[in-house]
Amino acid sequence: MPVLQNWFVIVVAYVLAHGLTAMLITPLQSRFIPEITAFASLVYLPHGVRVLSTWLAGRMAFLPLFFGAFLAELLFTPADVSRVTDPVILVSLVVGASSAVLAFELLRLLGYNLYAGRKLRIHWKWLLLVGMLASVINSIGQSLVFAGLILPERVFAVVMTYAIGDLIGLIVTTFVLMFFFRWIRLRPWR
């Protein structure tokens, strides 16, 4: 049963993070760079969920991350923009859900097993490193998936927006969760 609970938490966290991005960040960003906003966000909060979920749940995080991304796409993307059953969107969801898993696994193959529970503590800098690598994997993958839709002169800007947005999303998500858990720890419960 704990596996299902973990999966539920990951799905809900992903949907909430995506919802915040879609409802708050994207509208603001579209005022300044509308030609890139359709593809990437400068603060993509779900990337933080991807990295932290994969850190805690391991390779099995892929399934709830994919399901969370599917639900988030279904809930927050207008049908006139894209359909969640469109093969391009499904491949995009697979790329996003697998990016953190691929980053953790690549580092594990290089001798750095950074999944939770392998050491007593992990320094946040290692999570940022994994998140940056996952961001590069996601950026390249998403650019390939949407290559036919992105104007050639905008490819570099879109790739950079993915990379920057994923990293900023990871940092924001990590700090928010850090403060939230600290608040829970320090708050006197009666």
| Tens of pLDDT, residues 130-155 | 999 999 999 889 888 887 766 677 77
For residue 3, name the pLDDT band (cuts at 50, 70, 90): confident
For residue 122, name the pLDDT band (cuts at 50, 70, 90): low
Query: For tokens 């998140």, what's the residue?
Result: 131
Cα dihedral value 82, 142, 151, 18, nearest 10? 50
The first and second tokens of residue 37, run together, are 């906003």
* Residue 190 DSSP SS3: coil
Q: Which of 27, 1, 55, 30 is nearest to 13 (CA)?
A: 55
Task: Give the per-residue pLDDT at 39.
Answer: 62
For residue 182, name the pLDDT band (cuts at 50, 70, 90): confident
CA 159 to chain centre: 15
152 burial class (0-12, 13-18, 19+ CB within 10 angstroms)? exposed
For residue 5, name the pLDDT band (cuts at 50, 70, 90): confident
What single letter denotes the amino acid at residue 176? V
Task: Give the per-residue pLDDT at 62.
Answer: 98
What single letter denotes the amino acid at residue 72? A
Tell me which of 12-16, 31-35, 81-85, 183-187 is least confident.
Answer: 81-85
Residues written for the chain: 190
Angle between helices 46-57 and 155-186 (to 10 degrees): 60
Tell me the pLDDT tens digit for each residue of 51-70.
999 999 999 999 999 999 99
Cβ atoms of residues 146 and 88 within 8 Å = yes
Task: Give the per-residue pLDDT at 119.
Answer: 62
For residue 81, name the pLDDT band (cuts at 50, 70, 90): low
Higher pLDDT, 98 or 56: 98
Residue 17 in this model has a pLDDT that exceeds 80? yes
The first and second tokens of residue 100, run together, are 């953190």
Determine the Cα–Cα distance for residues 88 and 79; give it in Å rounded to an integer.
14
Range with the largest mean pLDDT of 34-48, 75-89, 128-142: 128-142
Determine the Cα–Cα distance for residues 90 and 107; give it in Å rounded to an integer.
26
